[in-house]
Structure 1
Amino acid sequence: MKDGATPIDNGGTQAVARALSLLSLVGRGGAQGLGLAQIAAASGLARPTARRLLLALGTARMVEQDRATRRYHLGPETYLLAGFATERHGILHHARDAMARLARDTGDTVLLTVTQDDHTLCLERIEGDFPVRTHALMRGDRKPAGVGAGALAILAALPVAEADALLARVAPLVGDLMPGLLDDLGRARVQGHALNPGRVVPGSWGLGVAIPWPDGRPAGALSIAAVEHRMTPARQADLAAALHREAQAIAARLATLERNTA
């Protein structure tokens, strides 16, 4: 070892990596939380090891255990840290004004979708004032990649090989929707926006546009959901133009963040 070099603590590094992996698992457990057996199975760790790491995370207030159900949830410290990071990294922070404008101007429901492993997550839903609404996608809903207009827009923005591999992984979850999804994906790549013509819920249509990072990869997607009769071809063109305009405004804000961190 060279003079002044710091020895590598492989054991400590491994423990940190495992603890962070468990923290991510707990976060993905959602409002219902996860039991110790679920966490151990998903992480591949022995239950005593998982429990020891969860206790350490609990001491740091990063996770907490419900006394009644014994299930683990994210702790208060994660909430505080997320709040500190929101302005710098939170796409919802930078998209909310755009979503509100779209909902006001169109009268329809506006959704913000982001990727989560091989799925997509609806981060936010803002409703317009049109009295007839679609409820096919609600805030917090998680769908397989490509299912829904926002998810389809994200998929269409990925390199073809990457998108194909992703679709192959989620094929068992998509099931009978796959042939229609592939047709919609081909059109989305050509048109620059995605259309879901009632594939998930009949009569509930959606139109989505990806929000790009400076390198072109999708940071998420904006979409508009409406009942079928409000998605005429002429109106689709107007909605797509509005979505592109707001998506580019959000992308410009994200690009500023990246320049400031470079």
Structure 2
Amino acid sequence: MDTLPTEPATSGPRTLRRGLHLLRTLRDNPGNGLSVTDLARLTGLQRPTIYRLLAALMEEGFVKSIDGTKRFSANHSTVAVSSPHQDPRIELALPVMQKLAAQTGDAVFLVVRDEYESVSLWREIGPYPVQILATFAGKRQPLGVGSGGMALLAKLDDALVEDIILHNSRQIEQYGGMTLREMRQLVQNTRTRGYSVVGNYAVRGALGVGCALCDARKKPYLAISVTAITERMPALRQREIAGLIQDGLKTLADKL
């Protein structure tokens, strides 16, 4: 996305109305998407405002960029759920997640891949009094910036990993200043260890450990991660938690 000067911050309600107006315009014009010039013409908003709103809408998963173009479209996929019975992956993983939350005391997340993004499907909160609720059901972010997404990314072949990293390059920098080199190194670290460790990128002061489960075709099916404040995640505990997640995923593999 091009970088342009932003206009002064506006009040919350006004910004919200503008964002909704932009989203409605994208949804009313599905086709091949709309460029920033198109959006300026249709909404009457200034280009810097459109860029700022698009960045926020993309980060929250409401809008996506169209590959190889400078056009955008509304994201019509709906994966946010309110009941575990609405998605078989949640129903499958829920007992393991509940057990992990009780064992670790921390927050446990179920994450899946949707092309270039990771999507959180469910979370379970442990009893420890300080929780890092890094994400929520329906939250989207570039694949790999969180521990669950990184566990999924590392299971893909090298060519696809590189394609995803390059596609998300402009967004990745918004997560704690992560660089493409760091992302590639995290993939290699995850493959070497057998589990992902990602800290201080998506959420400051948080560190997550994640493991992925593949289906019969060796494609990543889901990932489970545990996230806590960094002080609760020394290397030894990271390994212990990874072992607990892997044990849980083994029980799920027999049910696929």
Is this a same-fold pair by TM over 0.5?
A: yes
What corresponds to 1:113 in structure 2?
Answer: 111
Of 78, 99, 102, the residue aligned with 1:104 is: 102
What corresponds to 1:6 in structure 2?
Answer: none
AA matched with 2:232: R
> Structure 1 residues 43, 114: closer, same or farther in 2, change over 3 A?
farther
Distance 2:109 2:146 in 1: 11
1:33 Cα shift?
Answer: 11
What corresponds to 2:232 in structure 1?
Answer: 230
What corresponds to 1:4 in structure 2?
Answer: none
What corresponds to 1:39 in structure 2?
Answer: 27
Distance 2:77 2:118 in 1: 20
What corresponds to 1:153 in structure 2?
Answer: 151
Distance 2:96 2:31 in 1: 38
SS of match in other structure, 1:43:
coil
SS of match in other structure, 2:100:
helix
Alignment of 1:71-90 (within 5 A): 90=88
Distance 1:194 1:236 in 2: 9
1:43 Cα shift?
Answer: 3.0
AA matched with 1:246: G
What corresponds to 1:219 in structure 2?
Answer: 221
1:34 Cα shift?
Answer: 5.4
1:112 Cα shift?
Answer: 0.2
**Which ranges in structure 2 are unaligned for 5 or more consecutive residues?**
1-19, 34-73
1:197 Cα shift?
Answer: 2.3
Q: Once the two structures are superposed, what CA deviation does each residue of 1:123-171 show, in whole Å capped at 9, x if it has no partner?
A: 0110000001112222221101111000000000111111111111111
AA matched with 2:178: L
Distance 2:132 2:77 in 1: 31
Question: Number of matched residues?
Answer: 192
AA matched with 1:177: M
Structure 1 ranges of 4+ moved more than 6 A: none
Q: Rg: which structure is higher? A: 1
Alignment of 1:154-233 (within 5 A): 154-175=152-173, 176-178=177-179, 179-233=181-235
| Contact kept? 1:214, 1:251, Cα under 8 Å | no
Alignment of 1:54-69 (within 5 A): none
What corresponds to 1:67 in structure 2?
Answer: none
SS of match in other structure, 2:255:
helix
Q: Once the two structures are superposed, what CA deviation does each residue of 1:76-126 show, in whole Å capped at 9, x if it has no partner?
A: xxx9xxx9xx58x62111000110000011111000001123111110110
Q: Normalization by structure 1: what TM-score? A: 0.66
What corresponds to 1:17 in structure 2?
Answer: none
Deviating more after overlay: 103-112 vs 175-184: 175-184
AA matched with 2:245: L
1:234 Cα shift?
Answer: 1.1
**Which ranges in structure 1 are unaligned for 5 or more consecutive residues?**
1-30, 46-70, 255-262
Which structure: greater helix fraction? 1
